[in-house]
Every structure is written in C-alpha cells, then in structure tokens.
Structure 1
Amino acid sequence: MTPERLKELIRIPVRPRGAPTILSRESETHEDHVAERLVFDFGEGPVRGLLTRPAARLGPFPAVLYCHAHGNRYAIGASELLAGRPSLISPYGPLLAREGLVAMSVDMPTFGERSHESEGALAKALLWQGKSLFAMMLADLLSAFDHLASRDDVDAGRIAAFGLSMGATQTYFLAAIEPRIARAAHLCCYADLASLIETGAHDLHGIYMTVPGLLAETSTGRIAGMVAPRPQLICTGDHDPLTPPAAVEAAYAETLTAYREMDAADALIRLSQPETGHEETPEMRRAVLEFLNAMT
C-alpha cells in the first residue's frame, strides 16, 4: 500500500495544495500564550481554526496539527484545543505554547461551528455519492497542515500530528498519507478493525469512519505502519471498549513489523494502561509531552 493508493481508496478529494485562503483572523494575547481564531476557505465553505503559540519567544517553532475528538459532543470541535473535554486532563493548546510549540485545530465537518449538519445525514449523503465523510475530514486536515507549514512562525520540518479518539484515527491516517508530518502521537483509538467487527465493537465507532473497501486492501496496523520510519507514539487503555487488548495486539503486530522492516523499531513507542478506559491518564500526558518536546 502506497500513500497514493490509500488516498485513492479513501477517495480524498483532490484540492490544490498550498496555504488555504484566510477569510479572517483575530488574536488574543495571554500571559504565557497567544490564541488566534482563524476562518479558512478550504474550498467548501468557511472553516474555523483555533491556534495557540508562545507569547514571548521568537520562532520559528515546532508545531502540532491537533486533531480534535468526537465523543458525541458535536458542539466542541476545535474548541477542544483551548477548553479541553472530559476525556482529557486539561486543554493542550496553552500547555503546548508554554512548552514552545505552536498548535492548531480546525472544526471537522459536523463539529464546532459546522455542527448545523448531522454526522449521520452528511455521512450517508456522501456514501451515496461515492464519497466518504472521513475523506472530507482528512482533506480539511491536509489543508490545515498546509497552513501550518506556510507560517513564518512555524518550522515546516518539525510539524507533528496528535489526537485522541477520532483525532487519534485521523492522526495515523494523516501521517500515513502526508510524509511531511514529522511524527505522530495518538490516544485511545488504535485497534484492528477486523477484530472489532468479530466482536461487534466496531459499532461503537461513529459512521464518519466508514470507508468502503478499506479492509479488503489494508488494516489499521498496516496504515499506522506506513508512518515508519518516523516516530510514532501509541497510547491505549485495556478497559477502553474501542481498544480491547486482542484488537490492539493484532494491529500492533503489523505496525511493529513495518517499523522493523525499516530498521526503525526504536521509533515506535507504545504505552498500554491496564486499568484505563477511554480517557487520557497522567502517564499518557507525560509520554505525549516528552514525545512532542523531542522536536524542540
């Protein structure tokens, strides 16, 4: 599987690459960080983006493309970067700015300021048209990445992707198809999909993840393996119904094989939490910060 074939399989819409048009921009300076609100034109209507950056230090800085979660909380969207969510210890945006990193998140379709349309309605309409909601999401994230890479205050060679839950899935898919992503860290949504189908656990995922024909050609473990030899951090909880241990092991075996084939096994980091469900733990937070700070 090549990045080009994976993009074809998902049917990611072809858009002109390069920095997207910014329709508006507002900045708010805090003691230890600056927050920006941006409105982008990705070609299919306005999209809100929220960005945090260090307040006092000079760039260019390493950056994080922050993929927000789902959690059936459609109103949150990109606000997760600044306000957090129940499954996170605290918001990442101001924290990463204090660590010397720029971070940006954009509203996914049906989330945040785009929640006027329901996930189910949009996903069904797109599937009937031979498209997918997941492809639309990844296309938006690729456009967001292009904005980060174009900024004067960002080092385009040091941009990571990170996310929890839905954002985790987007993170390793995105890193698989975008070789400029320097490293990928994800929490609470890494498991072999075929194994989940066997137990019925796949139905816990949102319909946004439905990509026709995906499992006929590849798997979670092999897609995450396409990130090799770049560093990747995988965090899961054994009591998370989305990441049951057997399904995680099946995926990890394939990902590890890919890293070993690239002589990069040391770049693959795994943290399993035996008593944890679908939420970030202090150990995960420490691992993520150490992993991302390796870019600074």
Structure 2
Amino acid sequence: MLFVTSGPGMAENKPPTGIIEGNLPANVAALKAQMTYPDAWQSGHFSDFTRWQQHARQLLRSALLTPDSHKPFAPQTLMEEDRGSYLARKIALNITDDNRINALMLLPKAAGPHPAVVLLHDHGSKFDIGKEKVIRPWGDAETLASAQAWADKFFSGRFPGDELARRGYVVIAIDSTGWGERGPLVYEQQQALASNYFNLGRSLAGEMAYEDMRTVDFLTTLNNVDSKRIGVLGFSMGGFRAWQLAALSDKVAATAVISWFGTYDGLMQPGNNVLRGQSAFYMLHPGMPAHLDIPDVASIAAPKPMLIFSGGKDKLFPPQAVEDAFARAREVWASQQADDRLVTKSWPELGHVFYQQQQDEVYPWLDKWLRP
C-alpha cells in the first residue's frame, strides 16, 4: 500500500494546529456548530413557559456552584452622611455565610416604603473602587477622586446611585470579589483566582452572581423598601450582572442593562475581549453555553420589564452580535404578549458608556415600572 505524504493538493489536508487566532481551539467551527441551545425557549422542546422558566432558572442556579446561605444579614451602620433629601450610609452585612462585606446605601428621608434599585458596578480593569463607581463615596479624598474620574469618563460626571436617590429610591451597591474593599486585584491575578475557586469546588462567577441575589434578598428584609418594586441597573460587567440577576431572582421587578449584550457566536470572534480569559472568568459558568445562549438566559426574566442599551461604536460588542441577541430576546417577550415590556436600543453615536442622554431615558423608564 502506498502512502502519499506530499504533493499537489495535500496542503488542504494538513491537520490544523491546536490554537488559532484569538486563543480559539482549532476545531472552533465544529464546536460552535454543536451549540444548538437545547434548553432555550425557542428550542421547541417546551410548550409551557412557566415550566421552561423554572427549568432554565434551575439550570443557571446549579451552574453557580454556590450553596444557599442561611446566616442572618446582621447589618451594621459604619458611617453616614446627610445629602439633603437622602442619607448616604456605609454598612456591613453578611452577604453570604462565608463573607461579611461592606456596602453603600442611599436612603430617602421621606416616609416609605420606597422602591429600590440594586446598582451593579462594572469591571473596567479598575479594581481600587467598585461600589464607589456608582455611589459617590465620602471620607477619603483619594477614593473620591478616583470615583469622580470614573464618573466623568463613563457617566457624564454623575453618580447613578445619587441620581436615583434624588428620585426617591433606596439604592444599594456592593463590591464584587476583587474590587474596592474586597481587593484590589491586579489584572493578571484574575485567572489564578478563578482557577483556585474551581480547585475549591466553587466558582468566581458563581459567587458574584449569588451575592447579587443575596443583595436583592437583603433589600426585601428592610421596612423602608417596597419588596414588590425592586429594580436592577448595571453598566458593562454590571449590565451582564443585571440581566443575569433578573434571570436568577423572581424578586426583581424591572431591569436596565447598559453595554453588555450579544450572542456567544457573535462575541467569540478573534480580537474580542471575551477570548482573553482573565476578566472573562467573572462571567463564565461551566457548561451553561451548552444549554442556553446569552439572550436565552436574559429571557428567563420575561415577561417582566427589561431595557437593554448598547453603543453602536462599542468595540467590545459588535453590532451584529448585539442585534442578533436583541432579536432573540424580542421573540421570547413577544411569545408572552409582552412586547411593550422589552426595550432594546442601539445608540449609533456612542461607545461603551452610560452618558447623560441614556440616563435621561433609563431613569424615567425605571420610574414607569417601579414608581407608577
């Protein structure tokens, strides 16, 4: 038998190398073809939406690799500042059975109960501040300067939490692991931290997601909060956290997502940030993409109100990936006769930001659903 090892036409039969551009495996096309999302609402495998929702939510909850917590929150006030119509307060609480952390809260002085918003900070590769990115800090000039510079860059100089408190909301923000008083990390530590969570039988992304769930649960224990009117707002990684939290917790009444949406196929392209590892580990639940695409997870929250904004010039989220995800989510809300409860919008002139013109649409939208 003759084996031909070279000659015309043999180049195309050469085995691919193990890694191709963008840290992707050489067989990425074959692997992507297997991502058919069999647990999505659109899969055709489900006829009852509520049962699908329960099934998909349980899939996601199991993927967190994080046990339920039972320890009382035991909040303690550490600092307080009067800001006119509302109070700014730093508290300590047991966010889980394993972690006691600090949080920032804003509390209207008027009689409650009030609607509330959980604010979820971004990644930004800036770890010295977390909760202080979205609520103006006090008591430390260096922290305030860092936070104000961040607000100037991404939020038109305004702190979202303080804007919401002026509108009559109770607001809370915590640090995720690695940020602010729970860090600060340096960028290169993220991958090792994530792998060591796996070594401990846990998940870095799962801990972040579960602590966000517990933040909502904490608000429901407060007498000055209307537990039926709790909203969620997040920018960038906080936007990811926002739709994820709405999917995980049926206690979330309305959700605003800024600058984190797309499909796995659209985002897993050479050059995209999700292919770098490191920061991506905060958003990776092992095995979940074999079951549900990104918009499928967000759609677990349907038919509750959700707003999703993206910047047309956002280099992290290609326009086609975003529009494909928008369309997939719209199918789900439409299937529940809830088209009016889902807002999807791309801002052609904007990048990866949450500027004042966007805020001026988001805050009244939250009012519509949380302060009717």
TM-score normalised by the shorter chain: which range applies?
over 0.9
Alignment of 1:1-296 (within 5 A): 1-16=55-70, 20-41=73-94, 42-55=96-109, 57-83=110-136, 85=150, 86-89=153-156, 90-116=158-184, 118-201=189-272, 202-203=274-275, 206-294=280-368, 295-296=370-371
Give percent identity, aligned residues only: 28
Quick one: which amino acid aligns to residue 82 of structure 2? T
Mapped to 1, the partners of 2:231 and 2:335 lie a distance apart of 23
| Alpha-carbon distance, 1:23 to partner | 4.5
Larger mean Cα displacement after TM superposition, 97-106 or 30-39: 30-39
The DSSP-based 3-state class of the residue aligned with 1:72 is: coil
Q: Deviations over 1:127-179 (max 9, x none)?
A: 33443211000111111111111111110000001100111001101100101
Mapped to 2, the partners of 1:286 and 1:165 lie a distance apart of 18
What value does the CA root-mean-square deviation take over the aligned residues? 1.7
Q: Deviations over 1:248-271 (max 9, x none)?
A: 012112111110111111100122
Which has the greater radius of gyration?
Answer: 2
Quick one: which amino acid aligns to residue 283 of structure 1? Q
Structure 1 residues 13 and 193: CA distance shift in structure 2, 3 A: farther
Mapped to 1, the partners of 2:184 and 2:99 lie a distance apart of 13
Greater than 6 Å deviation, 4+ residue runs: none
Mapped to 2, the partners of 1:198 and 1:116 lie a distance apart of 30
TM-score normalised according to structure 1 size = 0.93
Number of positions where the alignment pairs a residue of Structure 1 with one of Structure 2: 294
| Alpha-carbon distance, 1:24 to partner | 4.3
Larger mean Cα displacement after TM superposition, 153-162 or 187-196: 187-196
Structure 1 residues 213 and 62: CA distance shift in structure 2, 3 A: same
Contact 1:259/1:265, CA 8 A, preserved across alignment = yes
Q: Deviations over 1:182-218 (max 9, x none)?
A: 0100101111122211344123653211222121110
Larger mean Cα displacement after TM superposition, 273-282 or 116-125: 116-125
Contact 1:221/1:250, CA 8 A, preserved across alignment = no
The DSSP-based 3-state class of the residue aligned with 2:197 is: helix
Structure 1 residues 79 and 46: CA distance shift in structure 2, 3 A: same
Quick one: which amino acid aligns to residue 88 of structure 1? F
Larger mean Cα displacement after TM superposition, 105-114 or 193-202: 193-202
Q: Where in structure 2 are there 5+ consecutive unaligned residues? A: 1-54, 137-146
Larger mean Cα displacement after TM superposition, 117-126 or 93-102: 117-126
